[in-house]
Structure 1
């Protein structure tokens, strides 16, 4: 089962300060999208899709570091494989209209990881 890195998210307590930081450091541009405090990141013409978002807690403690999401063909089969391989589902299948179906899981090292089945017709 192939799973290409397709999305990253930077979690921040102070979203405006982080936005200004990455604009200055990397020259990224940001576009408000979805819920309050959520921005799509334009890293460049060949960049991976990204987001800057209000920090959340997928695990008992707030998520630190950059969050990675991998594109998969079947998010339900991926969830089954995660469980069978000893991982844990942190967020059950969630549909983002016009984007696809998403889960978050914890790997054996305790890292939160996303898996997205892209589907532009998702409702």
Structure 2
């Protein structure tokens, strides 16, 4: 199996507006509202590097697992296969496959240490 490329990171924030100010001042990020309330795409204002990133209101995964830190998502060809591989190798599925209109299919997994990690199958014309 080829290595899955890094696809996306998300910053979970208790106060998205305060976090937007922080990341704008420290790293020069700009934000565009997109999707659900409290969700923002992150852009590099200087366009030095492409960012596949978001800042979002903090949320819990299944069974009240609070997300702390950054979420990382990797691109895969098949999210169901990624979920099966996770379970076969000491991980678990935190959320079943979800289709994000215009983006692709996403599944959230936990590694054997409980760290959340996303696996996404982008639509062919995305990224």
For structure 2, the 5+ residue unaligned runs are none
Q: Which one of 79, 90, 94 corresponds to residue 94 of structure 2?
A: 90
Taking the aligned partners of 1:120 and 1:7, their CA distance within structure 2 comes to 16
Residue correspondences, number: 122
- Give the TM-score taking structure 1 as reference length: 0.92
Partner of 1:10: 11
Runs of 4+ in 1 over 4 A off after TM superposition: none
For structure 1, the 5+ residue unaligned runs are none
Taking the aligned partners of 1:62 and 1:84, their CA distance within structure 2 comes to 24
The structural deviation recorded for 1:46 is: 2.2
The structural deviation recorded for 1:48 is: 3.2
- Give the TM-score taking structure 2 as reference length: 0.89
**Alpha-carbon RMSD:** 1.6
Deviations along 1:47-95, one digit per CA (max 9) or x if unpaired, are 3300000001125342110110000011111111111112100010000
The structural deviation recorded for 1:7 is: 0.1
Establish whether residue 73 from structure 1 lines up as the match of residue 77 from structure 2: yes
